[in-house]
Amino acid sequence: MTRLIFLGPPGAGKGTQAKILADLRNIPHISTGDILRNAVAFHSSLGEKVQSYMDEGELVPDELLFDLIRHRLSQTDAVERGWILDGFPRNVSQASFLENLLQELNQSCDRVIYLEVPDEVLTERLHERGRKDDSQATIRKRLEVYRTQTVPLVDFYRERSLLKTINGDLPMQEVTKSLRQLVGS
């Protein structure tokens, strides 16, 4: 059973590394960004509610994420095999919600993997990727939102002795290697 949270700025490689590790361990990779982008692509009612926030690089309101996360972590594959959470939690209110939810579901998080990458490298990676929210202005906004709302989670999880930091400013295979050493796979 593996239960991990991936934390880090936009472009740190959370999605890339979470997918590799989830495939290796055969556990669900739960990316809130992917779930929300799918909702937008399928024009669901959730998609309609979240699109403008995503386009602006703002966080989607917490209450839209809570039911989604509760539902996903209660599904059989997540209950039986574990999970990697990528992109959730994103602020202290989401982290507190998750802490309570895990208690309720009788689950616990093994580690929080914090991928550290300098801002100038992040900006370059996101420019090159060119996703809809990778324009210059939106990248700047996403980095600002990360600094003000998500960075406090570093202390939140450090205080709970869950935080493990990995240097994400290395070639992808090197990052994967450090990650595998850390989680023992």
Q: Which among 39-47, 55-63, 105-113, 151-159 is the span making contact with ligand AP5, rule CB under 6 A?
A: 55-63
Select 151 or 172, whichever has its Cβ closest to ligand AP5.
Answer: 172
Q: Is 3 part of the annotated catalytic residue set?
A: no
Question: What distance in Å separates the CA atoms of residue 132 and residue 114, rounded to the nearest whole number?
Answer: 25
Question: What distance in Å separates the CA atoms of residue 154 and residue 8, rounded to the nearest whole number?
Answer: 9
Q: Is 142 part of the annotated catalytic residue set?
A: yes
Q: Is 49 part of the annotated catalytic residue set?
A: no
Q: Is 37 part of the annotated catalytic residue set?
A: no
DSSP codes, 86-121: ES---SHHHHHHHHHHHHHTT----EEEEEE--HHH
Beta carbons of 64 and 74 less than 8 angstroms apart: no
1 binds ligand AP5 (CB under 6 A): no
Report the side by side order of strands in the sheet with 29-31.
29-31, 82-86, 2-7, 111-116, 163-167
Select 15 or 79, whichever has its Cβ closest to ligand AP5.
Answer: 15
53 binds ligand AP5 (CB under 6 A): yes
Q: Is 131 part of the annotated catalytic residue set?
A: yes
Least distance between ligand AP5 and beta carbon 180 (Å):
14
**Encoded tokens for 111:** 């580690």
- Number of C-beta neighbours around residue 148 at 10 A: 10
Q: Which of 3, 37, 125, 142 is catalytic?
A: 142
Q: Which of 2, 5, 7, 14 binds ligand AP5 (CB under 6 A)?
A: 14
Beta carbons of 165 and 116 less than 8 angstroms apart: yes
22 binds ligand AP5 (CB under 6 A): no
Active-site positions read: 14, 90, 129, 131, 142
Q: Which residues contribute to the site for ligand AP5 (CB under 6 A)?
A: 8, 10-16, 32-33, 36, 53-54, 57-60, 65, 87-88, 90, 94, 125, 129, 133, 142, 168, 170-172, 175
